[in-house]
Amino acid sequence: MTTIAAHRAAAIVLLLICIPAEAATVATVAGRSITEEELDRAVGDRLMRIRTEEYNVRRAMLEELIADRLLQAEAARRNVSVEELLKGEVESKISIPPAAELEAFYEGTRERFAGMSKDEGVRQIADGMRKQALAGRKRDFVKSLRGAAGVEVRLKPPRVAVRDDGPARGKASAPVTIVEFSDFECPFCSRAAQTMRKIAETYGDDVRIVFRDFPLASHRGAPRAAEAGRCANEQKKFWDLHDLLLARGGVPLSDGDLHKAAADAGLDLDLFNVCLASGKYAGAWKASQEEGSRAGVTSTPTFFINGRMVIGAAPYEQFQSIVEDELEIFRNSVETKEKRAALPAVPNVR
C-alpha cells in the first residue's frame, strides 16, 4: 500500500471510530423508535434468573474441565494413566456398609422398592451407596489437587445490587451478606429457614443474613404476616416471630395465628396489636416486594449471596459452595491489599 493510500485508510478508520454509532432500534411505534438501550433499561435485572442459570451451567462445565486438567497433570506426574490414578486414589479408598446394614436400610425403606425382590432392592441400595461414595471421594481428591495447583477461576458470576436494610442476623461487617426474599406462608421458605440456620451456625461472623418481604398474591395471609414481622421488629423480636411462623410449614395464617405466635415469642401484645391494627407497614412490604421484582424475584424463597441469585430451597451444599467461593474472593482481595501495602514507596520522580 502506498503512503497516500495508507493515510487515506487511516483517516477512514479514524472517521469510523469517531462517528457515534446509531443506537439499535428494536421497534418503531407511530414513527418513533424504541432503542435497544431503552429496552435494556426497562428490563433491568429481570433477566437475572436466566443469566444465573447460564452462569451455573458454564461454571459446572468449567469445574469439570478443571478437574480433568488436574487429574491429567497428576497422572502425568506419577507416570500413570488417569484410570489408574482414579483406581488407586478413589476406588480403592471407598467402602460399602456390610450386608447386615444394607438389609436393615432396605427394611426401613422397602416401600421405595415396590415390585422388587429383597435381593434386587439391596443390590440397588449398595450400588447407590457405592456411586455416592465414589463421587464424594473423587470430589475430595480433586479438591486436594486443586489446593496444591493454585487454581484461579476468572469466570465472573452475574450479580445484582439489592438493599440489605431488613431485619438481619450477623455482623454488618461480615464479608458475605445473604439477602432473602421470603413469604411466611411459603412451605419452601420454611425448609430454607433450616438451611439458613445451618449456614449461620457454620460460618458465624463471616455471614450476615437479611430478611426481605415478598408475600405472594396466592398466599392471602402473607401480607398481614409481613406486617406482623415488622411490628415484632419494633420490639427487637423479629427473628423469634420469624422462626415460629416458618416452623408451621407454610400453612395459611390467620390473625389469631399471628397473635398466638406473638405471645409465644414474648412480645408485648398490647403494643403488637396496636401496631398490627394500624396497617402502618403495608407500604413497607410493598416496597420490598417491588424491589425484589426489579431484581428478578418471581418466587419464594429467592436469595442473593453478595448479589448472586439462588432460587428456591436449594440444598445446603449449594449455599455452602457459593459462600466458600465468596469468602475466597474476599480473602484474595485482602491479601492483595496487604501485599500492595507492604510494597516500598515509589519515589515521585519528576
Label residue 180 exposed, middle or buried (CB < 10 Å: 0-12, 13-18, 19+): buried
Contact call for residues 181 and 193 (beta carbons, < 8 A): no
Q: Would the pLDDT of 112 be above 80?
A: yes
pLDDT, average across residues 151-178: 94
| pLDDT of amino acid 340 | 65
Q: What is the pLDDT of residues 123-147, one digit of tens each?
A: 999 999 999 999 999 999 999 999 8
C-alpha dist (Å) from residue 8 to 13, 16, 20, 21, 141 = 9, 12, 20, 21, 61
pLDDT, average across residues 202-212: 97
Closest CA to 227 of 239, 236, 216, 215: 215
Q: Would the pLDDT of 3 be above 60?
A: no
Q: Would the pLDDT of 347 be above 60?
A: no
Q: Would the pLDDT of 212 be above 90?
A: yes
User: Measured between alpha carbons, how far is 316 from 319 in angstroms, rounded to an integer?
Assistant: 5
Query: What does CATH list as the number for 168-333?
Result: 3.40.30.10
Closest CA to 235 of 201, 198, 207, 263: 263
| pLDDT of amino acid 14 | 41
| pLDDT of amino acid 202 | 97
What are the E-state strand segments in the chain? 25-29, 32-35, 168-169, 176-182, 207-213, 302-305, 308-311
Give the residue range(s) of CATH 3.40.30.10 domains in the chain.
Answer: 168-333
Q: Would the pLDDT of 350 be above 90?
A: no
| pLDDT of amino acid 22 | 59
Q: Which of 86-95, 100-109, 332-341 has the lowest mean pLDDT?
A: 332-341
Q: What percent of the chain has pLDDT over 90?
A: 72
pLDDT, average across residues 166-195: 96
C-alpha dist (Å) from residue 192 to 29, 271, 289, 302, 316 = 46, 30, 19, 10, 9
- Model's pTM, two decimal places? 0.79
Cell 469439570 identifies what position?
Answer: 64
| pLDDT of amino acid 43 | 81
Average per-residue pLDDT in the chain? 89
Q: Tell me which DSSP letter residue 248 carries.
A: T
Whether the CA torsion 48, 50, 56, 59 is positive or negative: it is negative
Q: What is the pLDDT of residues 296-341, one digit of tens each?
A: 999 999 999 999 999 999 999 999 999 999 999 999 887 666 666 6
